[in-house]
């Protein structure tokens, strides 16, 4: 094995005559015992010239004290990366401060570009380019992966995806940059400070999707502060007057519309600066897990697996839908058990009144909160399994179906008991208590399960590793090998889904019943401040570095938050209508009360929609910049046509 | 003058060595007494080469028996038109049935293209191209229009627009094609038949905007038929049971959502076939009436008039808004007078009951309907004046502000009395009567004012003209001259705004109170059938031929119709809740009734939004075709980059 490795070390360098220093960017881990011929074929395809259908990257086996362990480091020459940046359509800042799509031929016009400046592309961008190039390494005339006859290939199939699905390729992940990471950690969460997160640095290191999540988290926390500040006196002085309630609720409802609209503008500002607002959408390839019989894709005209949409619909409506309904039913069933428990605790408290029994009153809520969290997590796995079984062709379609399933269940699971208490039991005291317990318990559980537990596990593992390593530190390359070995064992960050979901549920707790429990916003703010720190810790210390993903907005979550804000108008109006203070205002006619509430609700909804319509999604200066770009490209096209026309007419 | 004309006739032909037959497409009418130097300069710019900043079109003065009358005919060579088609970005069908943006270099791949096939571009397309070229004829270093020192120019200003605003250019309009028009009339409304309109022929002759209006009118009429059919028995048998009412209203509400969503799909099918779905938006130039001090446009970097957005906001909020509110107040005041009249008629009927007095009951409604129509028309002019005074830079912004002003006023003006009767007076009988009278009277008035009156005036004028002409028919060219002279006196079609507005108000009458007056849909269907004929007549016989306008959808009207359909959910739910039959179902508790109605309303609204979200806006095959085009363009780009990359890496 070691001889082979030596040969490889030589083999990567002969292609790379320009760069003398190989910078490892991405790690490829193959399964133990992968056949020699497979490794040879795969590495040859990676280093092969573009013209021969290769990726023209650099690859080097990782040499540790145990010899070669089927771990490879991938890098690329500076020129290759620049050409790759053009292929993926990166948008960078020009010398005149405008954002433009990078092309190799116009490279001189970009800010900070110099032929010897290897930092023109950030490390995250380089890793994204390498990932893109690896994923676009496609089978030519191979019918199968050499050495694995059961792993079929067809022309145009992504080799890396086939290797992943057949288990030969264990994982591909980008390497951390220890130095950069240290700097980032320091400015991000290293010191306790009041101030903004270094979003641009986060974006440079982790990419746009993650930076946008942290941007949203920060923005959302700031946006909740006014609600929290106004909420505190309501709690402290137990203000229960009619006007104050209505004022608070109205403020909340309009405020939540404003913050969601303003977020779109801030998002546009951020993503314009990062270049992703202008980035053209890439053509979506089938997702790795998609399977079917080989057919012709009507769009591309290429041979690829085809799966009948009818069969998928059958799976969705005959299996997934009933399953989701069953889960919803089960969730409601659990809720009823909780109410029994609640009743039992109340009875117990009434029979033997003591401090202990008073404390016991909170126990059912806490148990229920824990059960909700557990059910959410189990359901999450089931939903993932089901959605993947539905065999969606595109990742986006898979994501939409998954998000819809998860959102519906989580919404019902978390809020059904509160709706029941509010609108069936009419017990405002229990609602307040239940809401508080659910909110706080779920926040504590989440913080623990999401960051602290993995962090502690990781730390323990690292200590063990280090001890083992340090004892025989001889090889010059060990520091890198040590890093790779440590990072490959770290957990994989599965995307921002869970983080957004947590915020979404929190937004529900804060807004749905805000007029009953104004303190919810205070807890949300407090939670989010620690959340920023624990999420930052999670990203930097607990998980493998994720690949950067360019994105221009928070996608479907914007819609989810807006829907929640519409629902909260309805719930709050009804809650206010039910309060005894408001009731007392209409002593003669309950109908007038209901009609007034309905009228106010419709007015609020109308104002919400008008506000959402009137507030532009992009700030004026971004609009101008986009218009300018569009004008320039149209003008260039026109110039081209004019020339052609002049020539044609001259003839 | 005649000598000058002779010179011109010679001058146009020397440029056109390819075409021997000049086909007049567009007519330019200059003001009587326009200075010679102005005419010379203007015609020179039109025929001048593209390279010199001209339009390189052909122009020929119209010679009538009175000599030259400052009327010019504009045409273009076949080659010029093809190049123009590329400039405006026309999308045509290829030989492989896909739609592609036309370029001169790829002309051979398009269906029906042949170098000698002069029908490859329809006449409407040719006229659109000529209009575009004329409007894009821009001042170079002229400081003013020669001969008119007060008509200032600056580099880049559209010459035609300046000529129009300074009154030197009276009008530009495209010529009718008598033969084509005859064919179109015959297939469109020439014979009474059950069947679809020849939308593709209408589109070829009048362009996409008008064809889409007729497509929408036809679709909407068909869509109303189920509502009309279900509505008839309700009226005939006076069904007033609770379940039947609710069923009808529920059907209507969901149906109106479905038809609006399905229209989007049909619209996509039509505009894909016509190529406008794929057409790229052109960069919007300032509208002709826009004025301001000369400054630098931040988007284009060009010198052009600039008007502060703050001043415009001031005009909107300090003048327009109060004016609109005043108009709304006046409209409500007129409404109250109508109710006084109504009361008076009722008193009269009660005092001396007779057939006459029974008839008198309808008089106030009829008078009110006429007054509403008159107010709508007067307000329309005021709104146009105000919006133009607001000095919007772009035509689209002007249109949006105008449409918003007009819609709000028309909505209140037409429906305020009905809302008042329904929700303040609770008089369902009066509501039904009032609704019927308003609907029918407005339909009759509209048909008369819109088509029949202009048609009759036009016919009378034509007869006079013909008599005068026929007496001395000698010149070979007279037939064309006669046509031009006739057409230039015809009214100008001001766009589809009024036609859509009429449909919008009709939709309001049908849907807002549909459960009270199911027969409204029947009247709407009947009206629309005659509307198709009278609008067709109007387009073909009454008005000048309008320039074709490419469009991909019905724009803001889709939103207006959808908003109306949301409002109608609320009104219908309330109406049903108020009906005595439903009232009787909740004998004990009125609150339960109101709550049930509110619940049903929210459910319906939720279903509406979910339906609108779930139904895709484009049919699957159109989506596929669009995806295919996108894929191809991405693929071409990638190929280009790959080549570049391979070359760069070879070096």
Chain B residue closest to A16 (CA)? B649
Strand pairing class (B169-174; A169-174): unpaired
CA distance B609 to B605: 6
Residues B611 and B631 in one domain: no
Are A267 and A212 within 8 A, CB to CB?
yes
Q: What is the pLDDT of residue B468?
A: 63
CB distance from B56 to chain A under 8 Å?
A: yes
CA distance B240 to B237: 9
Residues A634 and A589 in one domain: no
Report helix, strand or coil for B54: coil
Nearest to B78 by CA among B102, B58, B50, B99: B58
Q: What is the pLDDT of residue A27?
A: 93
- For the stretch B297-307, pLDDT in tens is 888 888 888 88
Q: How many CA atoms lie within 13 A of B560 on its CB side?
A: 23
**Per-residue b or e along B41-80, where b marks 16 or more CB atoms closer than 10 Å to that residue's CB:** bbbebbbbebeeebbbbbbbbbbbeeebbbbbbbbbbbbb
CB distance from A358 to chain B under 8 Å?
A: no
For A592-625, the three-class secondary structure string (H helix, E strand, C coil) is: HHHHHHHHHHHHHHHHHHHHHHHCCCCCHHHHHH
Are B410 and B505 within 8 A, CB to CB?
yes
Give pLDDT < 70 ranges for chain A: 1-21, 65, 67-68, 192-194, 238-243, 465-478, 645, 649-651
Q: How high does pLDDT run on average in chain B?
A: 85
Residue B448 pLDDT level (bands cut at 50, 70, 90): confident
CA B521 to chain CA centroid, nearest Å: 23
CB distance from B302 to chain A under 8 Å?
A: no
Specify if B109 maps to a domain. Answer: yes
CA distance A85 to A104: 8
CB distance from A104 to chain B under 8 Å?
A: yes
Locate A629 and state its tokens: 């770009």
Are B416 and B498 within 8 A, CB to CB?
no
Specify if A477 maps to a domain. Answer: no
CB distance from A143 to chain B under 8 Å?
A: no
Nearest to A254 by CA among A220, A227, A219: A227
Residues A532 and A416 in one domain: yes
Locate A533 and state its tokens: 């720190």
Q: Which residues of A touch B595 (CB under 8 A)?
A: 594
CB pair distance less than 8 Å for A630 and B86: no
Locate B224 and state its tokens: 């109303």
Q: How many CA atoms lie within 13 A of B342 on its CB side?
A: 19
CA distance A588 to A345: 38
Residues A162 and A307 in one domain: no
Residues B279 and B255 in one domain: yes
Number of domains in chain A: 3
CA distance A356 to A459: 38
Specify if B183 maps to a domain. Answer: no
- For the stretch B469-481, pLDDT in tens is 655 444 344 578 8
CA-to-CA dists, residue B29 to B22, B153, B168, angstroms: 19, 21, 9
Residues B118 and B264 in one domain: no
Report helix, strand or coil for A2: helix
The DSSP letter of residue A189 is I
Q: Sign of torsion, CA A87 A90 A95 A99?
A: positive
Specify if B437 maps to a domain. Answer: yes
Element (H, E) at A53: none
Residues A133 and A66 in one domain: yes
Q: What is the pLDDT of residue B119?
A: 85
Nearest to A272 by CA among A509, A550, A513, A16: A550
Locate A153 and state its tokens: 């290939």
Specify if A472 maps to a domain. Answer: no
Residues A513 and A610 in one domain: yes
Nearest to A131 by CA among A178, A62, A85, A95: A85
Element (H, E) at A202: helix A199-206
Specify if B190 maps to a domain. Answer: no
Q: A385 to chain B nearest CA, in Å? A: 23
The DSSP letter of residue B52 is G
CA distance A353 to A410: 36
The owner of tokens 């490419």 is B550
Angle at B156 between CA B153 and CA B157, to 5 degrees: 45
Are A422 and A571 within 8 A, CB to CB?
yes
Query: CA torsion, points A117, A121, A127, A130, in degrees to nearest 10?
Result: -80
Q: Sign of torsion, CA B479 B481 B482 B484?
A: positive
Residues B29 and B104 in one domain: yes
The DSSP letter of residue B390 is T
CB pair distance less than 8 Å for B51 and A628: no
Return all residues near B298 (Cβ < 8 A) that are at least 6 apart.
Answer: A624, A628
For chain A, the maximum distance between any two Cα atoms, rounded to a whole number of angstroms, is 105
The larger pLDDT score, comparing residue A206 to residue B427, is at A206
Residues B628 and B606 in one domain: no
CB pair distance less than 8 Å for B648 and A86: no
Strand pairing class (B303-306; A26-30): unpaired
The owner of tokens 């009207």 is B557
Residue numbers of the domain that contains B234: 197-295+303-466+491-615
Residues A637 and A586 in one domain: no
Return all residues near A397 (Cβ < 8 A) that are at least 6 apart.
Answer: none
Q: What is the pLDDT of residue B576?
A: 82
Residue B192 pLDDT level (bands cut at 50, 70, 90): low
The values of phi and psi at residue A544, to 5°, are -55, 150
Q: What is the pLDDT of residue A26?
A: 93
CB distance from B283 to chain A under 8 Å?
A: yes
The DSSP letter of residue B108 is G
CB pair distance less than 8 Å for A634 and B591: no
Q: A645 to chain B nearest CA, in Å? A: 6
The owner of tokens 């986060």 is A202
Q: What is the pLDDT of residue B477?
A: 43
Specify if A241 maps to a domain. Answer: yes
Locate B439 and state its tokens: 């609907």
Residues B516 and B641 in one domain: no
Q: What is the pLDDT of residue B12?
A: 40
Out of A233-242, B4-13, B196-205, B457-466, the most confident range is B196-205
Asked if the model's pLDDT at residue B3 lies above 50, the reply is: no
Q: Which residues of B touch A79 (CB under 8 A)?
A: 648-649
Picking from B649, B650, B651 by the largest number of A CB atoms within 10 A of its own CB, the best residue to mutate is B649
Report helix, strand or coil for B334: helix
- Whole-prediction pTM: 0.87
CA distance B563 to B415: 15
CB pair distance less than 8 Å for B87 and A594: no
CB pair distance less than 8 Å for A634 and B282: yes
CA-to-CA dists, residue A448 to A386, A454, A535, B365, angstroms: 28, 9, 11, 71
Return all residues near A185 (Cβ < 8 A) that are at least 6 apart.
Answer: A536, A540, A541
Are A27 and A487 within 8 A, CB to CB?
yes
Q: B76 to chain A nearest CA, in Å? A: 12
Q: What is the DSSP string of B299-322?
A: TT--EEEE--HHHHHHIIIIIIHH
Specify if A474 maps to a domain. Answer: no
Asked if the model's pLDDT at residue B214 lies above 60, the reply is: yes
CB distance from A648 to chain B under 8 Å?
A: yes
Q: What is the pLDDT averaged over residues B442-461? A: 79
CB pair distance less than 8 Å for B644 and A105: yes
CA distance A585 to B599: 23
Locate A446 and state its tokens: 């989440």
Asked if the model's pLDDT at residue B131 lies above 50, the reply is: yes
CA distance A346 to A348: 5
CA distance B14 to B143: 29
CA distance B350 to B355: 12
Asked if the model's pLDDT at residue B392 lies above 70, the reply is: yes
Element (H, E) at A587: none
Are B248 and B518 within 8 A, CB to CB?
yes
- For the stretch B86-105, pLDDT in tens is 888 899 998 888 888 888 88
The owner of tokens 């923005």 is A219
Are B55 and B46 within 8 A, CB to CB?
yes
Are B144 and B153 within 8 A, CB to CB?
yes
Beta bridge partners of A93: A99
For B213-280, the three-class secondary structure string (H helix, E strand, C coil) is: HHHHHHHHHHHHHHHHHHHHHHHHCCCCCHHHHHHHHHHHHHHHHHHHHHHHHHHHHHHHHHCCCCCC
Out of A230-244, A249-263, B255-269, B484-498, the most confident range is B255-269
CA distance B498 to B502: 6
């Amino acid at each position: 094995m070691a001889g082979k490795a030596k040969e490889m070390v030589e083999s990567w360098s002969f292609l790379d005559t320009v760069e003398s220093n190989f910078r490892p960017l991405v790690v490829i881990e193959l399964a133990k015992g992968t056949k020699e011929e497979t490794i040879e074929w795969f590495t040859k395809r990676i280093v092969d010239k573009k013209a021969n259908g290769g990726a023209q990257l650099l690859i080097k086996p990782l040499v540790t004290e145990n010899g070669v362990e089927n771990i490879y480091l991938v890098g690329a020459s500076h020129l290759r990366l620049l050409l790759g940046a053009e292929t993926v359509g990166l948008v960078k800042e020009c010398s005149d401060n405008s954002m433009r799509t990078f092309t190799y031929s116009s490279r001189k016009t970009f800010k900070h570009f110099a032929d010897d400046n290897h930092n023109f592309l950030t490390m995250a961008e380089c890793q994204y380019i390498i990932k893109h190039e690896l994923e676009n390494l496609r089978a030519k005339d191979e019918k199968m992966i050499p050495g694995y006859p059961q792993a079929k290939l067809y022309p145009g199939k992504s080799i890396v995806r086939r290797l992943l699905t057949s288990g030969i390729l264990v994982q591909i992940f980008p390497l951390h940059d220890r130095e950069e990471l240290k700097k980032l950690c320091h400015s991000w969460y290293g010191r306790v400070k009041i101030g903004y997160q270094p979003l641009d640095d986060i974006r440079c290191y982790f990419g746009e999707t993650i930076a946008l999540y942290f941007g949203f988290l920060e923005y959302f926390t700031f946006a909740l502060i006014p609600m929290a500040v106004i909420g505190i006196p309501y709690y402290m002085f137990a203000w229960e007057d009619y006007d104050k309630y209505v004022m608070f609720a109205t403020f909340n409802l309009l405020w939540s519309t404003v913050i969601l609209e303003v977020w779109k503008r801030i998002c546009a500002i951020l993503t314009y600066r990062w270049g992703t607002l202008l980035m053209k959408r890439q053509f979506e390839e089938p997702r790795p897990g998609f399977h079917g019989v080989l057919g012709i894709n009507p769009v591309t005209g290429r041979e690829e697996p085809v799966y009948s949409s009818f069969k998928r619909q059958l799976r969705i409506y005959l299996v997934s839908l009933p399953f989701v309904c069953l889960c919803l039913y089960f969730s409601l069933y659990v809720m009823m058990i909780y109410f029994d428990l609640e009743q039992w605790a109340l009875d117990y408290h009434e029979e033997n009144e003591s401090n202990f029994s008073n404390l016991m009153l909170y126990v059912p809520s806490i148990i229920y909160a824990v059960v909700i969290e557990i059910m959410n997590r189990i359901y999450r796995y089931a939903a993932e399994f089901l959605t993947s079984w539905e065999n969606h062709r595109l990742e986006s379609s898979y994501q939409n179906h998954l998000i819809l399933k998860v959102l519906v269940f989580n919404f019902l699971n978390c809020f059904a008991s509160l709706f029941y208490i509010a609108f069936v039991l009419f017990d405002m005291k229990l609602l307040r208590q239940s809401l508080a317990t659910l909110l706080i318990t779920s926040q504590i559980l989440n913080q623990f399960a999401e960051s602290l537990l993995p962090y502690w596990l990781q730390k323990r593992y690292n200590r063990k590793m280090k001890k083992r390593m340090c004892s025989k530190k001889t090889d010059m390359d060990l520091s890198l090998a040590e890093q790779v070995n440590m990072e490959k064992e770290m957990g994989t960050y599965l995307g921002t889904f869970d983080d957004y979901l947590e915020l979404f549920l929190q937004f529900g707790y804060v807004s749905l019943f805000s007029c009953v429990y104004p303190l919810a916003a205070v807890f949300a703010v407090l939670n989010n401040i620690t959340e920023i720190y624990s999420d930052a810790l999670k990203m930097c210390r607990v998980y493998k570095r994720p690949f950067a993903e360019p994105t221009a907005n928070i996608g479907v979550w914007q819609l989810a938050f807006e829907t929640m804000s519409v629902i909260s108008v309805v719930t709050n109006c009804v809650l206010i209508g039910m309060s005894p203070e408001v009731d007392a205002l209409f002593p003669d006619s309950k109908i007038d009360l209901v009609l007034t509430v309905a009228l106010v609700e419709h007015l609020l909804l109308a104002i919400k929609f008008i506000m959402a319509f009137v507030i532009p999604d992009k700030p004026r200066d971004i609009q101008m910049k986009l218009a300018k770009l569009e004008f320039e490209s149209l003008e260039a096209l026109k110039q081209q046509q004019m020339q052609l026309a002049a020539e044609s007419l001259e003839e």
